[in-house]
Chain A
Amino acid sequence: AQSVTQLDSQVPVFEEAPVELRCNYSSSVSVYLFWYVQYPNQGLQLLLKYLSGSTLVESINGFEAEFNKSQTSFHLRKPSVHISDTAEYFCAVRTSYGKLTFGQGTILTVHP
């Protein structure tokens, strides 16, 4: 079975500052890794994914995450955040045949 740990439940930052949301996973087999974003009163939207290949993956809105197999991590980063990035972010993992398992979520709050 796999599990996901998001190390920070809340991350407050100021606008235009860099941010890192931390995610560690555990699994005995190869995994696919995901970050989802949930805006207030909405469902989850896929932000970015790692399936294979390059360990650095990017989203269209400036977020990036790096798969680190030795540290079993998949931290999410953005060099400069905007007010509109305020949301809850979920790290998730699944095996080739298994279900998607989510972390507990990190609430990112961007202050002006």
Chain B
Amino acid sequence: DSGVTQTPKHLITATGQRVTLRCSPRSGDLSVYWYQQSLDQGLQFLIQYYNGEERAKGNILERFSAQQFPDLHSELNLSSLELGDSALYFCASSSDRATWSYTFGSGTRLTVV
């Protein structure tokens, strides 16, 4: 157990639908990062939150959004889903004392049918 919890582990949904992926960071970590892993794109950075505020944005589609709540858990919302959104979505967290040290969760595997 890495200390980063992602739910659900698997998700199957239809095109056009909306889903929410949840991430609880390691205790004490203020930063949360979301990554998408697919066969054709590899590991792509989506977005970073720090203590509730958006800190950096990567290759995140407009159909996707995220937020970090006061208890520091984060949610990634994916809407108007397309077949190409099928991927593994990882959350990672890091602390202020070691911002270079990312701890990854085990991921949510999203399948869009």
Query: A43 to B45, Cβ gap below 8 A?
Result: no
10 smallest CB-CB distances across A and B, nearest first, come from: A43-B104, A102-B43, A44-B104, A43-B106, A104-B42, A99-B45, A32-B100, A43-B105, A99-B56, A43-B107
What CA separation (Å) do A49 and B100 show in the bound complex? 9
By a beta-carbon cutoff of 8 Å, the part of chain B in contact with chain A is 2, 4, 33, 35, 42-43, 45, 48, 56, 58, 90, 92, 100-102, 104-107
A-B contact count (CB 8 A): 43
B58: chain A residues at CB < 8 Å are 99
What CA separation (Å) do A103 and B41 show in the bound complex? 10
In the complex, what residue of chain B is closest to A42 when comparing beta carbons?
B106
What CA separation (Å) do A100 and B113 show in the bound complex? 31
Given that A43-B2, A44-B90, A46-B102 are contacting pairs, would A100 and B33 also be in contact in the complex, using a CB cutoff of 8 Å?
A: yes
Within 8 A of B (CB), among A60-103: 90, 94, 98-103
Query: B21 to chain A: closest CB distance in Å?
Result: 14
Given that A43-B105, A44-B104, A46-B102 are contacting pairs, would A101 and B90 also be in contact in the complex, using a CB cutoff of 8 Å?
A: no
Can you offer 26 A-B residue contacts whose CB atoms are under 8 A? A32-B100, A41-B106, A43-B2, A43-B4, A43-B90, A43-B104, A43-B106, A43-B107, A44-B102, A44-B104, A45-B2, A46-B101, A49-B101, A90-B43, A99-B33, A99-B45, A99-B48, A99-B56, A99-B58, A100-B45, A100-B102, A102-B42, A102-B43, A104-B42, A105-B42, A105-B43
